Structure 1
Amino acid sequence: MDRKLKIVEVELVDAYQQQLSELLVSVVDDGASVGFLPPLSESDAAHYWTSVLAPGVILFIAEIDHDIAGSIQLQLCKKQNGSHRAEIAKLMTSPKYRRMGIGRALMNKAEERAKEEGIRLLVLDTREGDPSNHLYRSIGFIEAGRIPGYALSANGSLDASVFYYKSLVSNE
């Protein structure tokens, strides 16, 4: 990649809302399973981003030449018995920037931040068969199980979701 990739933590969505909305629409239109179905309107995408930053949600974006190439969320568990764990959510890479290491860079940044927060366990889920499964396994996530019929897809099928975890401490 000739252009420099920069990972930025976003504390206020306002300055990024248009590009984040475009990112969400493009990945949903491209078939990503991130909780939305196509066609996703720009206004629905914008509405999502206005409410994404809540207590315990850390949002990172990947930028290339001031263009948002991807995003990821680290969602800290706010329950007393879950303060040691967090969920990786909404890993998205723009279709025009796929296969350039952006997803891996975002995952690494989220994991690094999780460790800074004292998190000992990361969890995530993804649709069975999606390319993201390979990424997660390649960076040390372990499949915990599958739930059939978990996610509705654009074609009307009910697809299985695969749940993964990764311990961030070496003796667990």
Structure 2
Amino acid sequence: MNDNITVRRVGADEASQYIEALADVLIDCVEGGASVSFMLPISRATAAEFWTRVAQGVARDERILLVAEDAERSVLGTVQVITAQPENQPHRADIAKMLVVRRARRQGIAQRLMSAADDAARIAGKSVLVLDTVTGGDAERLYERAGWQRVGVVPNYALMPDGTLCATTFFHKQLA
């Protein structure tokens, strides 16, 4: 695990300052084949528009934005805890857009981001977390190692960035 990496929560007052750096992360991941709701080719405008909406959600206290940065404060990864849920699910949060740039993978960054997401969710009063990921991908194994429980697989649920269909595995985690 790289000790020069810091994982921290980005506050509402600074989230908009991270839009370009987070756009770089998203573009890198999509160009690397990650099925995270975007198709190839992904434009910088599309990526920036997405992160602008995320920053607005952070400002409205609807989501928690976490980033992993190196010693030079370059963003290497990110994850979100979506806390805004229906009235009958105030105890639940969704984990979304767990992304690590390709050059920084296999250094424990994703594991640290997910641990920080658990902590942030607990602080926000959440006790049930849910997420989905491409079936058979590296992230699926990461979530299982982090204590997530597989709910099931939906075949042909989403598209990979190149347009091919992929199955999606759904997970939940009960926080202590």
RMSD: 1.3
Aligned twin of 1:67:
74
Letter of the 2:26 counterpart? L
Letter of the 1:145 counterpart? G
Aligned twin of 1:43:
45
* Residue-by-residue CA offset, 1:141-166 (whole Å, 9 max, x unaligned): 01001111111123332111000001
2:171 maps to 1:164: yes
For residue 15 of structure 2, the aligned residue among 1, 13, 16 is: 13
Deviation at 1:14, TM superposition (A): 2.5
User: Within 2, Cα distance between the matches of 1:2 and 1:59?
Assistant: 21
TM normalised by structure 2 equals 0.91
User: Within 2, Cα distance between the matches of 1:152 and 1:73?
Assistant: 21
User: Within 1, Cα distance between the matches of 2:79 and 2:162?
Assistant: 25
Equivalence map 1:135-150=2 (5 Å): 135-150=142-157
Aligned twin of 2:96:
89
Structure 1 runs of 4+ with >3 Å offset: none
Which segments of 5 or more consecutive residues in structure 1 lack a partner in the other structure? Answer: none
Report if the CA contact (8 A) 2:39-2:162 is conserved: no
Report if the CA contact (8 A) 2:92-2:129 is conserved: yes
Letter of the 2:5 counterpart? L
* Residue-by-residue CA offset, 1:31-75 (whole Å, 9 max, x unaligned): 111111121111111111111131321101100021101000000
Aligned twin of 2:138:
131
Deviation at 1:107, TM superposition (A): 0.3
Aligned twin of 2:32:
30
Choose between structure 1 and 2 for higher RCO, CA contacts under 8 A separated by at least 6 residues.
2
Aligned twin of 1:103:
110
Report if the CA contact (8 A) 2:78-2:98 is conserved: yes
User: Within 1, Cα distance between the matches of 2:39 and 2:136?
Assistant: 17
Report if the CA contact (8 A) 1:7-1:60 is conserved: yes
TM normalised by structure 1 equals 0.93
Q: How many residues align?
A: 169
Instruction: Give identity over the alignment, percent.
Output: 36
Report if the CA contact (8 A) 2:82-2:94 is conserved: yes
Letter of the 1:136 counterpart? Y
